[in-house]
Structure 1
Amino acid sequence: MPENKEPILIIGNAPITADIRAEVDSYTRVVRFNFCAGMPQHLGRKCTDLWLSGRGRQAHKLVHSHLDIDAQQLLSLVITDPPPNPVTQTCFRLLGRQGSLDHGEALMTKFAPAHSKKRITAAARQQLLAELLRLGQPECKPKWPSSGTQAIAHFVAAGTPVHIIGFGFQGWKRHPWRLERRYVAKLQEQGKLRYLA
């Protein structure tokens, strides 16, 4: 693992029963996702990097719900869906396809105080999916990698040591969970990632 950078902690949304408040507070940067698994007390409060889904009902709910996160303390906000096609979005609205509507700009506005705000590009997302597909056969035809795996890939590519907890590799059926597990195991073998004990 690179020694010249502090590790970053990425907290997934799988259930975590252990009290990790002290460990969370020891990291300079802590990444969380969407509703942050409810931010229960035993998972600490620190959140410096927030990765959010930009499309569908969950994104709509994120826009209109209170997240107990101080946007002034956010170093980065990342929307994990690429910028939408305006024509397609208009069609979705006319057809009432709520699950396909993009709310990325509204989320950017909601968390405007974040020091850095960006969206994952379609090219970056497809490149990661292609890398995952080289690891074997997926359970079904995947659409794109999960937000958690996108975050892991992002920080590993930057040369940042990554520590993770709360990754269960299950959920929406269009993520290649089996391949994501293999990808994380490969990074672990390479010394680029470790699980928070």
Structure 2
Amino acid sequence: MSRRIVIVGNGLIPEGVAETIDSADLVIRFNGCRSAGRGGWRTDVIAACNTGRPALEMLASGRWKASRTVRQAKEFWCVRTAEVFAAMRTSLARSHPDLDDFCDDYTIGFETFARVTGRSLRVVPADMQRTVDAELSAFDPQPYVVPSSGVVVIAHVLANVAAQGDRVSLAGFGHEGWQWHPFAAERRWVDALVAAGRLDRLELSSASGTR
């Protein structure tokens, strides 16, 4: 039986789609799940940036661990693969010396948290970032450090999670934020997937469509 999978970013959520998100078969959110509430509450998976300051802040935060979304998540995904980021460290030290902790890996911390709370943890395969890098090259990206976690997760869901017939929807993807993500190219990449029928953007007009 086909499923509806919703990937919920931390950007603006269209009014009126929370019920559709909460009724989905699988809901994936990111990091602090800032769009929860207006974007519904159901959370099956939290995809976490497991390197650098964002990872350290989440693991050190009792508020994050006790939050409604984190408590109900059945699974955590570490979006950044240790070997990919370790390989970046030397070149990044030359090009972006201010990002000195960007490649610090905290996967073990998320692994420990998942284990002691009875949840599972997966690491998104390294080839997902390489795939996204290759595909973004067709959309003239400005110089960037890494793709956003959002597009890496989209690629992972389409390649490794969604089955034939599943509907994959996005909400809360504004394609803006940290200056070293290639957001303009990412928007065009997502638009191409929508045009090809592989994704849809969840808006009020599409929220009531056939599951």
Same fold (TM > 0.5):
yes
TM-score, normalising length from structure 2?
Answer: 0.76
Segments of 5+ residues of structure 2 without an aligned counterpart are 94-99, 204-211
Q: Retained in 2: the 8 A contact 1:169–1:178? A: yes
Q: Over aligned residue pairs, what C-alpha RMSD do you find?
A: 2.7
Give yes or no for the alignment of 1:119 onto 2:123.
yes
Amino acid at match of 1:78: W
Amino acid at match of 2:184: R
Question: Which among 28, 31, 38 is matched to residue 34 of structure 1?
Answer: 31
TM-score, normalising length from structure 1?
Answer: 0.81
Q: Deviations over 1:132-178 (max 9, x none)?
A: 112x2112x22322111111111222444211111111112222211
Q: Deviations over 1:47-83 (max 9, x none)?
A: 0011000111111110011221466743431111112
Q: Retained in 1: the 8 A contact 2:9–2:35? A: no
Q: Retained in 2: the 8 A contact 1:13–1:167? A: yes
Where do residues 1-197 of structure 1 align in structure 2 (5 Å cutoff)? 4-16=1-13, 18-37=15-34, 39=36, 41-65=37-61, 66-67=63-64, 68-69=67-68, 73-84=72-83, 85=86, 97-112=100-115, 113=117, 115-134=119-138, 136-139=139-142, 141-157=143-159, 158-159=162-163, 160-197=166-203
Moved more, 117-126 or 169-178: 117-126
Q: Secondary structure in 1 aligned to 2:154?
A: helix
Q: Retained in 2: the 8 A contact 1:51–1:79? A: yes
Percent identical pairs in the alignment equals 28
Shift of 1:10: 0.8
Q: Secondary structure in 1 aligned to 2:21?
A: helix
Q: 1:187 to 1:17 in 2, by over 3 A?
A: closer
Q: Residue 96 of structure 2 aligns with which residue?
A: none
Equivalent pairs, count: 185
Q: Secondary structure in 2 aligned to 1:171?
A: coil
